[in-house]
Amino acid sequence: MSPPESVRVEVDGVGLNVALRGPEGAPAVVFLHGFPLSHRMWEPQMRTLEARWRIVAPDLRGMGGSDVGDGQYAIDLYADDLFAVLDHLGLADVVACGLSMGGYVLLRALEREPGRFRAAVLADTRSTADDDEARLKRVAAVRALKRKGAETYARQFVEIVLGRTTLAERPELVDWVRATIAAADVLGLSGAQLAMAARTDTTDVLAGLDIPVLVVVGKEDELTPRDLAGDMADALPDGRLAVIPRAGHLSNLENPEAFDRALVRFLEEVAPPPLAGPGAQR
Ligand code: MLT
């Protein structure tokens, strides 16, 4: 196991914190976190993969250890940041895994520069844009964030984002998610909400993706439910679907064992490490 490392990548004066793990030169897996979290949501997956894959996990601007900058964001700006991180690290032909908002960024990156990716994992996300109701909710959320702060927002958000099993049985995870959101920067979160409100529909992109794509969804996810994930998997030329039991919208954190089983099986197929090292999960 490699010690945790990180690198700072500057994009137009905004410093992006990028966590790195695993052997350099091993097939790279890039993790894009969901709103309003950070690369730390991928800790279980980093632990599972780090013996055999190179892990790259940036904090999106405005969240985690990345700078907030001016708070004016767009999904395309996050995609530009992703490209800058890949260029800085000299990485091509990566597998990328995006959860929810990370999935929105990944879908747009796949649409714009598909040649950078050899495979993708789309977890608890959707290709459709916001409808009018969803946009108005985001504007209300921005107003509430500015008036009441991130702590009040965090209390409400955990009830929506986590599955019923987690809410009933995993108080430590509920507390961690709540505390992480409460500590986040209001300007960063507001900018992310407005970027998501303005995102484009990438549904038509799915049929043209000629790479393997694993679609993952928590069985108890009410934000991006199973049927939606099934539709995405069906629209992909080489799509597969993994439904994670006892998990809501943060399926990788709520049931890491099941999530990692699906992820490792997929990575073994699409980006196998040259040699299995100690602790390899075959
Ligand atoms: C996320 O988990 O990234 C967000 O809930 C996505 C969204 O608000 O659409």
Candidates 31, 60, 75, 100: which one to mutate for ligand 1, based on the most atoms within 8 Å of Cβ?
A: 100
pLDDT exceeds 50 at position 12 = yes
Question: What's the pLDDT at 274?
Answer: 82
As a whole number of Å, the CA-based R_g of the chain is 17
Q: Atom 9 in ligand 1: which residue has the minimum CA distance?
A: 101
**282 band by pLDDT with thresholds 50, 70 and 90:** very low
Does residue 80 have a pLDDT over 80? Answer: yes
Instruction: Name the residue with the closest Cα to ligand 1, atom 1.
Output: 35
SS3 146: helix
With cut-offs at 50, 70 and 90, classify the pLDDT of residue 68. Answer: very high
196, 250, 252: residue to mutate for ligand 1 pocket, most atoms within 8 A of CB: 196
pLDDT band, residue 20 (cuts 50/70/90) = very high
Average pLDDT over residues 265-271: 98
Which amino acid residue places its CA nearest to atom 7 of ligand 1? 101
Question: Looking at residue 5, what is its pLDDT?
Answer: 93
Question: 22: which residues sit within 8 A by CB, 6+ positions away?
Answer: 2, 49, 50, 51, 52, 53, 54, 55
**What values do phi and psi take at 114, rounded to 5?**
-65, -25
Atom of ligand 1 nearest to the CA of 126: 9
Q: What sign does the dihedral 181-89-279-120 (CA atoms) show?
A: positive
pLDDT value of residue 267 = 98
For residue 276, pLDDT beyond 80: no
CA of 169 to the centre of ligand 1 (A): 23
Let me know: does 105 contact 84? Beta carbons within 8 Å: no
CB 95 within 8 A of CB 27: yes
Mean pLDDT of 251-261: 98
DSSP string covering 166-186: HHHH-HHHHHHHHHHHHTS-H
At residue 281 the predicted structure's pLDDT band, cuts being 50, 70 and 90, is very low
**How far apart are the C-alpha atoms of 97 and 120, rounded to whole Å?**
6
DSSP label at residue 138: H
Distance 37 CA to ligand 1 centre (A): 10
End-to-end CA distance of the chain: 17
100 lines ligand 1 (CB under 6 A): yes
Query: 165-216 pLDDT, tens per residue?
Result: 999 999 999 999 999 999 999 999 999 999 999 999 999 999 999 999 999 9
Cα 12 vs. chain centroid, distance in angstroms?
23
Query: Taking 50 as the threshold, does the pLDDT of residue 280 lie above it?
Result: no
Q: Taking the complete model, does pTM exceed 0.75, yes or no?
A: yes
CA 259/CA 216 separation, integer angstroms:
8
- The encoded tokens of residue 129 equal 């844009």
Contact 157, 99 (CB under 8 A): no
184 secondary structure, DSSP code: S
Of the candidates 187, 14, 173, 37, the one whose C-alpha atom is nearest the C-alpha of residue 102 is 37
Q: What's the pLDDT tens digit per position in 127-154?
A: 999 999 999 999 999 999 999 999 999 9
Summary mean pLDDT of the chain: 96
CA dihedral 244, 176, 95, 80 (to 10 degrees): 130
Distance of CA 282 from the midpoint of ligand 1 (Å): 33
Asked whether the predicted pLDDT for residue 4 surpasses 80, the reply is no
Distance 254 CA to ligand 1 centre (A): 16
* CA of residue 100 to ligand 1 center, whole Å: 5
Whole-angstrom distance, CA of residue 26 vs CA of residue 33: 21
Over residues 55-70, the mean pLDDT reads 98
pLDDT score for 2:
61
Question: Taking 60 as the threshold, does the pLDDT of residue 249 lie above it?
Answer: yes
Interval between CA 126 and ligand 1 midpoint (Å)? 10
- Point out which residues pair with 10 in neighbouring strands: 15
Pocket of ligand 1, candidates 180, 249, 253, 254: which has the most ligand atoms within 8 Å of its Cβ, to mutate? 249
Can you tell me the distance from the alpha carbon of 173 to that of 251, in angstroms, rounded to the nearest whole number?
A: 12
